[in-house]
């Protein structure tokens, strides 16, 4: 009987993963790669080690949650970034600052696990059950507010605003869904994972009953929820919405080839919650989607002249470039987003103050906040010396009202 080639036993690579043959590296190329990796790892300070196992190693590779475009053109990458930042509104750093190399889109993985995730799709990374349920509730409430704000401003529907300070996004834990156990680990082969950081202790795991369980303890609980990433800056923290996009691609690929019938009950719950959360991430209100179909919110043309950028994005014939410079002014989208927040009953008085300054002075608002604080301080000093009655701030500033200087 003829033998079956080993390669035919492996699952096909997901559509977005493209493997190219590597040439023999030169000493110069090795030095350049090591230098580039070192710079990226400095950006990911706070990661204990491998995102999946916590193991620290000099060979760790940087993985993208939303992968870079293959053979990228500037306009292709701009379209991906625009979809994540403006259309879906799921990035922390905003339309101008986010790129696919931003820290929130990056994790570190031990090289074999990186290949299993990106090329073979033998497992998927998602949020824990508790985190998934909390994020689903957050997205449902966020999408309801988003739809209501688009109905309030149908001509310029604002983008989605994620409450990044919500506890559901501050204390996220993650889990793995083992999709092809026999390809991820051979029978009896252990996986080493960090169990405690202080002191550093490790535990062995192996595949048993389609799940990772304690080494030689087949009846033990599956691999628990984990978090080996604690980056100091909040805008560099792993983005759970980008992770959900990555997980959906792996799950869709697996369902197409093998289906979900072989998964355990625990894995199936994670799959169902992940796909539900993904649908909420991709949701767009009808009015917003209609305006997007008409050409609003389209990506910036990277080949266009700088002084034409805002005109190309919004196609506003009456747009005054002197009033809205690229550095200091607000775009129509940003202005309407600010107005929507100011009309939101949940917006606090302090937030209304900041929104008013931002609406009036654009990106120069930080200077005017300082200037206004200086004037208030001077007025307070004079009031203390002269013992005069408190004086109200100008009432023409919307959102401030009759605020007294004491």
Domain span including residue 223: 30-289
Only one residue has tokens 């994790």, namely 107
Q: How many domains does the chain have?
A: 2
State the pLDDT at residue 373: 57
Backbone angles phi, psi at 351, to 5 degrees: -65, -35
> For residue 280, is it within any domain?
yes
> For residue 19, is it within any domain?
no
State the pLDDT at residue 383: 41
**Alpha-helical segments (H) within 294-362:** 309-314, 332-342, 349-361
97: tokens are: 């600052």
The helix (run of H) or strand (run of E) holding residue 106 is strand 106-109
> For residue 340, is it within any domain?
yes
> For residue 381, is it within any domain?
yes
Based on the domain organization, do 100 and 195 belong to the same domain? yes
Based on the domain organization, do 318 and 284 belong to the same domain? no
> For residue 338, is it within any domain?
yes
Based on the domain organization, do 94 and 235 belong to the same domain? yes
What CA–CA distance (Å, rounded) separates 298 from 310?
A: 11
108 forms bridges with which residues in the sheet? 62
**Cβ neighbours around 371 below 10 Å, total:** 13
Q: Pick the closest to residue 84 from 248, 251, 242 (CA basis).
A: 242
131: tokens are: 């985190």
State the pLDDT at residue 397: 38
> For residue 204, is it within any domain?
yes
Based on the domain organization, do 258 and 331 belong to the same domain? no
From first to last of its 406 residues, what are the pLDDT tens digits of the chain? Answer: 434 343 333 334 444 444 444 456 676 666 666 666 666 666 677 788 899 999 988 889 999 999 987 766 667 888 899 999 999 999 986 656 899 999 999 999 999 999 999 999 999 999 999 999 999 999 999 999 999 999 999 999 999 999 999 999 988 999 999 999 999 998 889 999 998 877 889 999 999 999 999 999 999 999 999 998 877 777 788 999 999 999 999 999 999 999 999 999 999 999 999 999 999 999 999 999 999 999 888 775 544 433 443 334 334 444 344 444 444 556 655 666 676 676 666 677 777 777 777 766 665 555 555 555 555 554 444 444 344 444 443 443 344 344 333 3
Based on the domain organization, do 219 and 316 belong to the same domain? no
What CA–CA distance (Å, rounded) separates 66 from 52?
A: 17
State the pLDDT at residue 391: 42
Work out the end-to-end distance of the chain between its first and last CA atoms, rounded to an integer number of angstroms: 93
3-state secondary structure (DSSP) of residue 213: strand
The helix (run of H) or strand (run of E) holding residue 203 is strand 200-208
| 406 CB-side CA count, 13 A | 2
What CA–CA distance (Å, rounded) separates 379 from 401?
A: 18
State the pLDDT at residue 41: 65
pTM of the model: 0.68
How many separate helices (H) and strands (E) can be counted in the chain? 14, 9
End-of-domain residue from the set 243, 264, 289: 289
State the pLDDT at residue 231: 77
> For residue 10, is it within any domain?
no
328: tokens are: 């200091």
State the pLDDT at residue 127: 98
Q: 201 vs 110, 115, 204, 315, 330, CA distance in Å?
A: 18, 26, 11, 59, 52
What CA–CA distance (Å, rounded) separates 178 from 79?
A: 32
Based on the domain organization, do 328 and 281 belong to the same domain? no
State the pLDDT at residue 370: 55
Helices 129-152 and 286-293: crossing angle in degrees, nearest 10, is 70
Contact present, 123 and 64 (Cβ < 8 Å): no
- Give the single-character DSSP code of 39: H
> For residue 5, is it within any domain?
no
């Amino acid at each position: 009987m003829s033998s079956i080639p080993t390669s035919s036993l492996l699952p096909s690579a997901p559509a977005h993963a493209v493997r190219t043959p590597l040439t023999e590296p030169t000493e110069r190329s090795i030095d350049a790669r090591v230098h580039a990796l070192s710079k990226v790892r400095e950006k990911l300070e706070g990661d204990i080690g491998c995102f999946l196992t916590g193991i620290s190693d000099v060979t760790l590779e940087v993985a993208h949650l939303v992968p870079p475009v293959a053979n990228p053109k500037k306009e292709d990458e701009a379209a991906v970034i625009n979809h994540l930042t403006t259309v879906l509104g799921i990035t922390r750093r905003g339309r101008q600052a986010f790129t696919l190399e931003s820290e929130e889109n990056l994790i570190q993985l031990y090289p074999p696990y990186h290949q299993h995730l990106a090329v073979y799709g033998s497992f998927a990374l998602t949020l824990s059950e508790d985190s998934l349920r909390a994020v689903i509730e957050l997205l449902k409430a966020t999408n309801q507010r988003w739809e209501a704000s688009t109905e309030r401003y149908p001509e310029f529907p604002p983008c989605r605003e994620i409450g990044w300070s919500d506890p559901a996004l501050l204390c996220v834990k993650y889990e793995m869904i083992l999709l092809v156990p026999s390809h991820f680990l051979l029978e009896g082969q252990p996986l080493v994972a960090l169990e405690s950081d202080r002191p550093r202790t490790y535990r062995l795991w192996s595949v048993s009953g389609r799940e990772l369980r304690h080494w030689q303890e087949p009846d033990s609980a599956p691999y628990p929820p984990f978090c080996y990433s604690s980056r100091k800056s909040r805008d560099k923290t792993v983005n759970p919405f980008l992770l959900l996009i990555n997980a959906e691609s792996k799950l869709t690929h697996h369902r197409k080839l093998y289906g979900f019938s072989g998964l355990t009950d625990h894995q199936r719950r994670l799959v169902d919650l992940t796909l539900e959360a993904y649908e909420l991430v991709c949701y767009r209100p009808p009015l917003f989607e209609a305006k997007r179909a008409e050409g609003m919110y389209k990506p910036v043309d990277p080949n266009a002249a700088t002084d034409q950028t805002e005109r190309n994005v919004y196609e506003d014939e009456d747009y005054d470039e002197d009033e809205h410079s690229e550095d200091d002014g607000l775009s129509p989208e940003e202005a309407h987003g600010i107005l929507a927040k100011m009309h939101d009953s949940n917006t606090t008085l302090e937030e209304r103050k900041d929104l008013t300054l931002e609406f009036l002075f654009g990106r120069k608002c930080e200077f005017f906040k300082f200037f206004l604080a200086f004037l208030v301080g001077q007025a307070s000093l004079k009031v203390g010396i002269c013992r005069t009655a408190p004086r109200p701030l100008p009432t023409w500033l919307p959102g401030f009202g009759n605020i007294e200087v004491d």
